[in-house]
Structure 1
Amino acid sequence: MGHSELPFFYLGAYWGMREQTLDDVAGDISATVRALGEAHPALRSWWWEDRAAPVDPDSQWLRDELEAARRRDGDGEPSAGDGYSVSFHNEPFPDYHSGPGSETKVKLSFFAGESGTPRLSNNCVLTLPAPKRAPQGLYDLQSLKLALHWMADIWRPDHALCVNTPLADAQGDWMKVSPQVGWITYLGPKYTDGIERAELPHGVQAAARADGALLWFPLPAADVAPRMVVDLREALVAAGCLPAGNG
């Protein structure tokens, strides 16, 4: 697939029910915003909706907005165990409410602290523009490995990955086949038992990270084919690390 045709990738970290206080969630969001800036300059500043000033991750405003969003989601009366959500974009967006905005922007979203509804997954997701529209170097493997490492280290998810739609779809319906794997994959402790005996596909590299394992294809994004991630997932299933899925 040509580089100009490559669909956008996203980095997603996912975990099950986990109670967190407002201060816990705000602190982890602050840590994430600061850490992602180490991965690439385009990830250093973030804006919320049409606010003129970038987000100060240590401000009282962030805590107020998290609480306000929780109340909006709960129709004014959030229940015990309801999570907190917020999303940012990495460019000023004065027309936020009137259009999709620039095709070069990155989106960063959070949903955390949910402990009352099993079907809801807590998550931190970094959505990138398509490679041909992305800032130079954003799709460098080392940059995205570092970004996913920080997401895993801060949030300690069950699993995380850097993937695009074709790579994900090749593995089946994500509601039936989970966790999926990607160009870069993090597996938390619940999925690493037996990983040392996994017969990983040729070239796949692995390292211990955040009490789990980080696995990656040492290739440019355009060179990672759907069959490659399917083979990686099958190897992890065979080793007993991942469930086979149910459809």
Structure 2
Amino acid sequence: MTEDYYVGAYWGPRKETALECARRAELFFHMLARCDPSFVQWYRAGRGFPRELPGHPVRMEVEALEKWLLKGRNRTDVGKHVIEDLGFSQTMWNAKKEATDISIHCGMYTSWAPNSCLLKVTRESPIRERLLRVSVLAEVLIAMATAWDPDFAMASSSEMVDLLEKQGVEVRVGWLTYLSRRRGRLPPLPAPVRIEPVGTLGWLLVLSPEPMTAGNPEHVAFTSRVRELLERAGLIAWPSPEPEGA
């Protein structure tokens, strides 16, 4: 069975303007373009784009990204009023078929949902095989960490996450995992886990040089073990959100 791999970064409530988010997005896409040739050009939805293209090409400059994010504000069903605390949500992709998709939710400061940046890896080969390498995914995680300053980020298959996740909201451990220094101190971890600093922001944990799959019991057991050690160190549970108005 082909597993669905993705890279996701998550952070708690952070009130930011569309301009502030656009500056982060510009840095993210600039760094992402260096990770793989398929990450250079992205497209968005909208009427009137040429049929030979997957959508409207997205210009990766702050002004264009700010306008793009402003179009993604959440609004009420009645009156279409902007819901300020839900920030901005947008999606883009890089091909007509078997695309890699990116979804961004930023500027959100409500307590019930995290901000996030998700990259869903295409199911098409040979691009898929090229992307599912530690060298590429590590650079994608570093780009997310540098641009968005998340609490954590990870690269994994959805199937592996489903097997390991125990709480509704928790730090997810994947084949590769990024943890912000805000989370706390790392405990000793077993070989062959490789730990690399990401500037002064946090650490990148690489559990294996080869892809880890939910279909391999040894991969599941080892990832579960690492998760257990991080949980004992207090790095898995997110703080409970404060009551509204607190």
TM-score bin, normalised by smaller chain: 0.7 to 0.9
Q: Alignment partner of 1:242: what SS?
A: coil
Q: Which residue of 1 aligns with 2:242?
A: none
Quote the offset at 1:222 in angstroms: 4.6
Mapping of 1:58-137 within 5 angstroms?
58=61, 60-70=63-73, 72=75, 76-91=80-95, 93=96, 102=97, 104-115=98-109, 117-130=110-123, 132=125, 134-137=127-130
Q: Which residue of 2 aligns with 1:217?
A: 207
Instruction: Please give the alpha-carbon distance, in whole angstroms, between the structure 2 residues aligned to 1:231 and 1:119.
Output: 29
Change over 3 Å in CA distance of 1:73–1:62 after alignment to 2? farther
Quote the offset at 1:208 in angstroms: 1.3
Change over 3 Å in CA distance of 1:136–1:229 after alignment to 2? closer
What whole-Å deviation, never above 9, does each CA across 1:185-236 have from its counterpart, x for those lacking one? 001123232x1xx231220010111411110123221567221211111111
Instruction: Please give the alpha-carbon distance, in whole angstroms, between the structure 2 residues aligned to 1:227 and 1:208.
Output: 25
Are the equivalent residues in 2 in contact too, given 1:166–1:226 (CA < 8 A)? no
Instruction: Please give the alpha-carbon distance, in whole angstroms, between the structure 1 residues aligned to 2:166 and 2:229.
Output: 18
Change over 3 Å in CA distance of 1:12–1:128 after alignment to 2? same
Change over 3 Å in CA distance of 1:130–1:110 after alignment to 2? same
Task: Indicate whether 1:8 and 2:11 are aligned.
Answer: no
Instruction: Please give the alpha-carbon distance, in whole angstroms, between the structure 1 residues aligned to 2:3 and 2:126.
Output: 10
Using structure 2 for the length normalisation, give the TM-score. 0.83
1:64 is matched by which residue type in structure 2? K
Instruction: Please give the alpha-carbon distance, in whole angstroms, between the structure 2 residues aligned to 1:78 and 1:201.
Output: 48
Instruction: Please give the alpha-carbon distance, in whole angstroms, between the structure 2 residues aligned to 1:242 and 1:65.
Output: 33
Task: Indicate whether 1:235 and 2:229 are aligned.
Answer: yes
Instruction: Please give the alpha-carbon distance, in whole angstroms, between the structure 2 residues aligned to 1:236 and 1:173.
Output: 13
Change over 3 Å in CA distance of 1:207–1:222 after alignment to 2? closer
What whole-Å deviation, never above 9, does each CA across 1:127-181 have from its counterpart, x for those lacking one? 00237463452112101100101101111101110011221122134515x1110
Are the equivalent residues in 1 in contact too, given 2:15–2:85 (CA < 8 A)? yes
Quote the offset at 1:123 in angstroms: 0.5
2:17 is matched by which residue type in structure 1? T
Change over 3 Å in CA distance of 1:6–1:219 after alignment to 2? farther
Number of corresponding residues: 227
1:9 is matched by which residue type in structure 2? Y
Change over 3 Å in CA distance of 1:30–1:79 after alignment to 2? same
Change over 3 Å in CA distance of 1:35–1:206 after alignment to 2? same
Using structure 1 for the length normalisation, give the TM-score. 0.82
2:211 is matched by which residue type in structure 1? A
- Which of 122, 137, 141 aligns to 2:134? It is 141
CA RMSD of aligned residues (A): 2.5
Task: Indicate whether 1:181 and 2:203 are aligned.
Answer: no
Are the equivalent residues in 2 in contact too, given 1:192–1:213 (CA < 8 A)? no
Using the aligned pairs only, state the percent identity: 24
Q: Which residue of 2 aligns with 1:37?
A: 33
Q: Which residue of 1 aligns with 2:244?
A: none
Q: Alignment partner of 2:34: what SS?
A: helix
Change over 3 Å in CA distance of 1:218–1:113 after alignment to 2? same
